[in-house]
Structure 1
Amino acid sequence: MTTTSGTTTVRRTGEHDAARIAALRRAWVEEESGHLVDDDGFEDRFAEWYAEEAARRVIFLAELGQEPVGMVNLVTFTRMPKPGRAPSLWYYLGNAFVLAGHRDRGIGTALLETAIGYARERGAVRIVLAPSERSRPFYRRAGFGPATMLLVKEPVR
């Protein structure tokens, strides 16, 4: 699936995109921490994680030309079969990020619309996410609301 909005292209990633996604993940962490993060093994660990997660995770990449500028992913949860009910699935939407210099240009919206379209095409019963305080208005504008049917327990540390 590829969609284009202006000069931004949003596409599903493939097996050769690990380094591009890892670069965005590094940029995200460095933006949040306010400094460069020295971790020489990160890219290798990321590539291993990406290969392991490929069967259950769909990642979409936003690009301006060949430059990766944003990403979002969906983790697939397939429901246990139940007699008398058609098979179903739902998605957890996570790791939504757009580089700071490219925000407020519709890139996040294009990524989100692509992810929602993907889930809709597959008949998902819901998309769940845990928004940051900063992203809550963005998701509310896209039609997301409180998850009144879910419960959460934080693990004891």
Structure 2
Amino acid sequence: MTTTPDTVTIRRTDEHDAARIAALRRAWVEEDAGHPVADDGFDDRFAEWYAAEAGRRVIFLAELGREPVGMVNLVTFTRMPKPGRAPSLWYYLGNAFVRGGHRDRGIGTTLLEAAIGYAHEQGAVRIVLAPSERSRPFYRRAGFGPATMLLVKEPVR
């Protein structure tokens, strides 16, 4: 657990945090939309997704008191074993979000540092992400650069 100067606590989530993460996801979508988004089944769908993903995701939550104000997660990709090579894994970093009223206080940086620290502790060979245009400078400041070793195939629409 990490605490920022603004008394924001950063911690890994557990099975009891689905509603807190769902509230942040809803806040993110509504902030982008500029209005509330009606979806009566969202909380149930989110809880099902959260339970299904628990084995391969590590989610970090930022809280001010008991209020969730930010999150980031790592999706684990464990490589297929290879003769003569030690097991390895890598992470996809995603869903980084800090509520609008809490930005520019170091919360995003602290969340990112927690995720990166966890990945390093686990022996990750890399962390990859797909930044938005707005978040590119944030990730560059944290040492992320172009992914020259990966290729992408987008589906034909």
TM-score tier, shorter chain, comes to: over 0.9
Q: Distance in 2 between matches of 1:67 and 1:119?
A: 26
Q: Trace 1:32-51 onto structure 2 (pairs within 5 A).
A: 32-51=32-51
Considering only aligned residues, what root-mean-square deviation do their CA atoms show, in Å?
0.5
Query: Is 1:98 matched up with 2:60?
Result: no
After TM superposition, give the deviation of residue 147 of structure 1 in Å: 0.2
After TM superposition, give the deviation of residue 35 of structure 1 in Å: 1.1
After TM superposition, give the deviation of residue 5 of structure 1 in Å: 1.2
> Could you list the runs of 4 or more consecutive aligned residues of structure 1 that deviate by over 4 angstroms after TM superposition?
none
Q: Which runs of 5+ in 1 are unaligned?
A: none
After TM superposition, give the deviation of residue 156 of structure 1 in Å: 1.6
After TM superposition, give the deviation of residue 121 of structure 1 in Å: 0.2
Q: Distance in 2 between matches of 1:38 and 1:156?
A: 30
After TM superposition, give the deviation of residue 46 of structure 1 in Å: 0.1
Residue type of the alignment partner of 1:113: E
Query: Is 1:10 matched up with 2:5?
Result: no
Q: Trace 1:6-155 onto structure 2 (pairs within 5 A).
A: 6=5, 7-155=7-155
Q: Distance in 1 between matches of 2:8 and 2:71?
A: 12
- Provide, for residues 10-60 of structure 1, a one-character-per-residue CA deviation record: whole Å limited to 9, x for no partner: 000000100000000000000111111000110000000000000000100
Q: Which runs of 5+ in 2 are unaligned?
A: none
After TM superposition, give the deviation of residue 4 of structure 1 in Å: 1.1
Residue type of the alignment partner of 1:3: T
Identity of aligned residues (%): 87
| TM-score normalised by the chain length of structure 1 | 0.98
- How many residues are aligned here? 156
SS at match of 2:101: helix
SS at match of 2:2: strand
| TM-score normalised by the chain length of structure 2 | 0.98
Residue type of the alignment partner of 2:26: R
After TM superposition, give the deviation of residue 150 of structure 1 in Å: 0.4
Q: Distance in 2 between matches of 1:156 and 1:81?
A: 32
Residue type of the alignment partner of 2:18: A
